[in-house]
Chain A
Amino acid sequence: MGKAAVQMIEREALDLVFLDVQMPELDGLQVIEAVGPAKMPLTVFVTAYDHHAIRAFEANALDYLLKPFSDERLEASLARARARHDEHSLLEFGRSVLRMVCGKPAAGGYLDRLVVKSGGTTRFIRVADIDWIEGAGVYANLHIAGKELLYRAALHELADKLDPMRFVRVHRSAIVNIDSIVELQPISHGEFEVVLKDGHRSRVSRTYRAQLEHRLGQSL
C-alpha cells in the first residue's frame, strides 16, 4: 500500500494526503522519504500510536490523527487542511507574480515549521511566527514575540530554506519577517532601520537595501 501511495502522489497533482503511519512494505514516513519532503502534498498522519507524533511533526505534518478519532476531531483536521490550502493558493499567486516580475524559476519547498531542541524539550516553531533571525555563528537566534531560541543552522543555510515572499535579509547577520515590520526609519547616508513589532531595530545595509526595495516593489 505504501508503494501504491508513492506512485499516486507522484502521478496525481494532490493537495492533501491522509497517511497511515504503520503500513506493510513501506510505512508513512518511508512514503515521505520516497517522494521527497518538498514534493509531498499537505500531510495528515493517521495512527493508533502516539509515539509517532514527534517523527510526524519532524516530517512537517500538518496534523496528526490518533485512532480512534471522533468525527469532530476529523472535521477539525480537514478544516485545518482547507485553511492551509487557501493560504497556499494565495502564496502561489504571490509567487507567480514574483516569477513574472523577476523572471526567476519557481521556488517551492520552503520550511513552514522548525524543530528546535533544547534542554530535553522539542519545540515545533511555525516559521510565520518568527519576527526576525540573527546570525550567531553555527546557530541562528530566532526572535519570536520577544523571546529567543537557538536553532542549529548558520544564517545563510537557513536563509536558503525560507520563503523570500515572507523573509528578507536586511543585514549580513539579520533576516526579518516582512509581516513583522512596522516602520522604516532613515538613519543617514541612504541607510535605514527597520522597526519591528517587538520594538527591535535592525539596520538595513546598503548591500541589502536594493533587495528590500525589490521585494516591496518600491523605493525607500
Chain B
Amino acid sequence: MTAAHPEGIRVLVVDDEAPARQRIIDLLEKDEQVGLVLEAADGKSRRPDD
C-alpha cells in the first residue's frame, strides 16, 4: 500500500469489459475524496474535474 496522498485517493481501474469499467469510473468521479482515476485499458488518466 502506498502512503496517503495529499491530493486525494489515487485509483486505478483495470477491467477489459468497458461497461463495467465505465460504471466504476463514473462513481469514482463523483467522489470528492478521489483525486485521480486511471484506466489500465489505454493508459489514459482522468481527474474528477476534467
Instruction: List residues of chain A with CB under 8 Å of any chain B CB.
Output: 1-2, 4-5, 8-9, 12-20, 23-24, 28, 31, 40-42, 46, 67, 71, 74-75, 78, 81-82, 85, 88-89, 92, 108
Contact of B20 among A4, A12, A46 (CB under 8 A): A46
Establish whether residues A88 and B20, one from each chain, have CB atoms under 8 Å apart when the complex forms.
no
Q: A1-B40, A78-B31, A88-B4 are in contact. Are A15 and B11 (CB under 8 A)?
A: yes
Given contacts A78-B27, A85-B9, 11 further A-B contacts (CB under 8 A): A4-B41, A5-B12, A12-B38, A14-B38, A15-B9, A20-B14, A42-B1, A71-B27, A74-B23, A85-B4, A92-B4
CB of B21 to closest CB in A, whole Å: 8
Q: How far is the CB of A60 from chain B (nearest CB, A)?
A: 10
Contacts A8-B43, A74-B23, A75-B27 given; does A16 touch B9 at CB 8 Å: yes
Taking the nearest CB of chain A, how far is it from the CB of B6, in angstroms?
Answer: 10
Q: How far is the CA of A112 from the CA of B17 in the complex (A)?
A: 30
20 contacts between A and B (CB under 8 A): A1-B14, A1-B41, A5-B12, A8-B40, A12-B38, A13-B10, A14-B10, A15-B2, A16-B9, A17-B12, A17-B13, A18-B11, A18-B24, A20-B16, A23-B15, A31-B14, A40-B1, A41-B1, A78-B28, A81-B9
Docked pose: A2 CA to B31 CA in angstroms: 26
Q: How far is the CA of A40 from the CA of B5 in the complex (A)?
A: 15
Q: Is the CB of B38 within 8 A of A23?
A: no
**In the docked arrangement, what's the CA distance between A74 and B20, Å?**
11
> Which residues of the partner chain B approach A16 to less than 8 Å between Cβ atoms?
9-12
